[in-house]
Structure 1
Amino acid sequence: MLYLYLTMLICFALSVIFTPFVKKLAFLVGATDKPNQRKVHQKIMPRLGGLAIYVSAMIGYLILRPWNEDSLYILLGSLIIVAVGILDDIYELPAKVKFLGQFVAAFIVVVIAGVQVTFINLPFGGQLHFGMLSIPISILWIVGITNAINLIDGLDGLAAGVSAIALITISGMALIMGDWFVTSMGLIILASTLGFLLYNFHPAKIFMGDTGALFLGYMISVLSLLGFKNVTFISFVVPVLILGVPISDTFFAIIRRIVKKQPLSAPDKSHLHHCLLRLGYSHRETVLIIYGMSAVFGLLAIILSQAAVWVSMIILVVVLLALEIIAEKIGLVDANYRPILKIMRVIRYANGKQN
């Protein structure tokens, strides 16, 4: 473990050293983010910062050399993802091209390497085998989480911080399970992300861009897939809970666009962080609130993995209900979308009349 801690320290230091050079490179190659009506920042910002995270993490990998039979395929997929991210940060690729790159990276890991969820043990006995669906489900997981992290990358330090919290949780649970590869890779990427976060927290000096958001999303999705595949139904839900903030934000974004009859890929300014800003929270307060939400999800995931089945089911129901109420209160779907709150209002009104 001492060797791992030293490698983490090296990754952190390298990320701190590399980021200023990447910032200069971003301006040199035109990888900049210009302000518009959908953006929060007010000046041109360099957005290639994820390259510092990636290079630092890969050097950490070469130092520590954690290994399993899927390592080379995972690293190849990450290289494709980072290449797509770099090109997008410079040239702003069409959504279809970015999706194709993500699909290829996921295909390599799922189909060629065979990293996939094939079955889960059901809570009250028996197994659910996915059969041929295991491949599309696993690819959908990787592509979905990769895009979920990218979607929340809307405020200084937000995606980096949420990813760091997810990596801490995944690495900690992998350590408990005795999975050295997932533990070490998670902590290497965590250290590299924290080094970059020094420059990315509000007020940010550089953005991670798609290079960083796609890389972090891809690696988090793959590591969680490696750590929690072919287990119980509750353990299957654990990585979903760990990534509760980006997944729920993406889910409500899809619902919002369906309700408003917009294309699923249509950008808007109604994500979780936008809603909190509209409620009057400052930029930094909004980021810290979402950090807190991510930490709560991580803690619940750990509790869920250790609790009895019936306790876990109660926790899941409470979490889902709380998410829906929060989404309705802050207008995450639409200001008029409040089905649960309306039901609660009717119940209160009925109780008031009875009293």
Structure 2
Amino acid sequence: MQDTRTMLACAAALFTSAVAIVVLRRLAEPLGLLDRPSDRKQHQGSVPLVGGLAMFCGVFVGAWWYGDATQMSRMLLTTAAGLTIMGSLDDRHELSVRTRLIVQTLAVFVMIGSTDVYIRSLGTLNGVQLQLGPLGIPVTLIAVIGLLNAFNMMDGIDGLSGSMGLVGIGSIFAFHHGGVTLGVTVLIAMLGAAMIPYLAANLGLFGRKIFMGDAGSTVLGYLLG
């Protein structure tokens, strides 16, 4: 029953993402969310930067439909929404690196402070458990910010960030053995579903090409982190 519920929530995320792409693609110019060619950007014509917004809309609607949210999933969605807003502002106004890092750091600290979830151990080496203790918090901060910015830097080739995101999601599910609740695993399943319409549009298979934008690549890396 829960598996069916999860599949329906993923279907809702996919459908919402596809509809959001169609709507936001038309609003990209009025919103100023266009990526124009430059010496550093070699694409042809102005391309809407709405893929990330559409993906987050899909995840949000899927999570709302599923219900049964945990404290961690609620905080994850809340902080991800903040990063989506920041990413959209960056897509429009090109925020400074300092501003982006401050917002990213706040998002990670809010997650750690509200859920007490962070990297506590690096596993076992030669029979010795590598416990981090208080160092786990800065290690978690560096790891998550590093990953989300890695996805941001990766978003320069069509399909690269999206396909790597799907690989990451598949890897997490391959090693996950917990029960099905609206936890992180269900959220990233919805994220994977919401990315499918984006990939189709990004590769030119679904109307006018779009890009993920910082709003998408940042949140993709954050949720995976």
Residues 159 and 66 of structure 1, relative CA distance in 2, 3 Å threshold? farther
Residues of 2 paired with 1:40 and 1:158: CA distance? 16
Q: Which residue of 2 aligns with 1:211?
A: 215
Aligned counterpart for 1:148 among listed residues 138, 147, 150: 150
Alpha carbons 1:9, 1:191 under 8 Å: kept: yes
Q: Secondary structure at the match of 2:71?
A: coil
Aligned counterpart for 2:70 among listed residues 65, 68, 71: 68
Q: Which residue of 1 aligns with 2:110?
A: 108
Residues of 1 paired with 2:224 and 2:213: CA distance? 17
Q: Secondary structure at the match of 1:120?
A: strand
Look up the equivalent residue of 2:161 and give its one-letter code.
Answer: A
Q: Secondary structure at the match of 1:115?
A: coil
Q: Which residue of 2 aligns with 1:40?
A: 42
Aligned counterpart for 1:80 among listed residues 55, 79, 82: 82
Q: Secondary structure at the match of 2:40?
A: coil
Residue 38 of structure 1 and its aligned partner are, at CA, apart by 1.7
Alpha carbons 1:164, 1:194 under 8 Å: kept: no
Look up the equivalent residue of 2:152 and give its one-letter code.
Answer: N
Paired-residue identity, %: 28
1:321-340 correspondence to structure 2 within 5 Å:
none
Alpha carbons 2:79, 2:107 under 8 Å: kept: yes
Residues of 2 paired with 1:109 and 1:48: CA distance? 26
Q: Which residue of 2 aligns with 1:3?
A: 5
Q: Secondary structure at the match of 1:127?
A: strand
Residues matched between the structures, number: 220
Aligned counterpart for 2:54 among listed residues 25, 34, 52: 52
Alpha carbons 1:16, 1:195 under 8 Å: kept: yes
Residues of 2 paired with 1:120 and 1:46: CA distance? 41
How high is the TM-score relative to the length of structure 1?
Answer: 0.59
Alpha carbons 2:49, 2:91 under 8 Å: kept: yes
Which whole-Å deviations, capped at 9, do the CAs of 1:65-106 have from their partners, x for residues lacking one?
A: 253332222122111101101111111111111111111111
Residue 177 of structure 1 and its aligned partner are, at CA, apart by 4.2
Residues of 1 paired with 2:127 and 2:223: CA distance? 32
Residues of 2 paired with 1:115 and 1:89: CA distance? 30
Give runs of ≥4 in structure 1 deviating > 6 Å.
none
Residues of 1 paired with 2:73 and 2:15: CA distance? 24
How high is the TM-score relative to the length of structure 2?
Answer: 0.91
1:6-17 correspondence to structure 2 within 5 Å:
6-17=8-19
Q: How large is the Cα RMSD of the aligned pairs?
A: 1.7
Which whole-Å deviations, capped at 9, do the CAs of 1:241-290 have from their partners, x for residues lacking one?
A: xxxxxxxxxxxxxxxxxxxxxxxxxxxxxxxxxxxxxxxxxxxxxxxxxx
Look up the equivalent residue of 1:209 and give its one-letter code.
Answer: G
Name stretches of at least 5 consecutive residues in structure 1 with no aligned partner: 222-355
Larger radius of gyration: 1
Alpha carbons 2:73, 2:187 under 8 Å: kept: no
Residue 26 of structure 1 and its aligned partner are, at CA, apart by 1.4
